Amino acid sequence: MPDPLRPSRRVLRTTARGCPVLTNPRPNRGTAFTQTQRREPDLVGLIPPQVLTLDQQAARAYQQYSAQPTDLAKNVYLTALHDRNEVLFYRLIGDHLPEMLPIVHTPTVGTAIERYSFEYRRPRGIYLSAHAPEDIERSLRAPGLALTTST
């Protein structure tokens, strides 16, 4: 079966329709889909009717981020945003990089790794276990693995 995502120069094209568009963080733009863009992949009625610009979405996401009580909660919020809408995630991080870098990287990511079993959301990447060293090489050859970060 061909991959439903077919990247082009500036547009990510998809053959997906309805909910699969909204559950894939790459094509999902949330409320930034225009009324016209909502008709083609059958999104009408699946998202709120108001169209928001990326600027408006980023402002709302920053308010939600700022309301999180701890750095770990902020990390969990950003991870969930990344799992929903990559464009908005990268826009928010780009707009607030000095503030958010310690949340998505050192030192908060260390806490997030320690608390992983309590905060598990969606798998992203590979997970290596010292208790199963025989599986490490196979895991590192996983299809689609583009970058490895070790902590």
Mean residue pLDDT across the chain: 81
CA atoms of 13 and 30, how far apart (whole Å):
16
Report DSSP state, residue 29: -
> Domain spans of the chain?
1-52, 54-151
Token pair in block for residue 65: 């981020």
14 — alpha (psi -120 to 50), left (phi > 0) or beta? beta
The CATH-assigned architecture of domain 54-151 is: Up-down Bundle (1.20)
Q: CB-based contacts of 117: which residues, under 8 Å, 6+ apart?
A: none
Indicate the CATH number of 1-52 among 3.90.180.10, 1.20.1370.30, 3.30.230.10, 3.40.50.620.
1.20.1370.30
Handedness of CA 28, 31, 33, 36 (dihedral sign): positive
Q: What is the pLDDT along the chain (151 residues), one digit of tens a residue?
A: 444 444 434 566 778 888 888 888 888 889 999 988 888 888 888 888 899 999 999 999 999 999 999 998 999 899 999 999 999 999 999 999 999 999 988 877 777 666 665 555 555 566 677 788 888 787 777 766 665 555 5
* pTM, entire model: 0.69
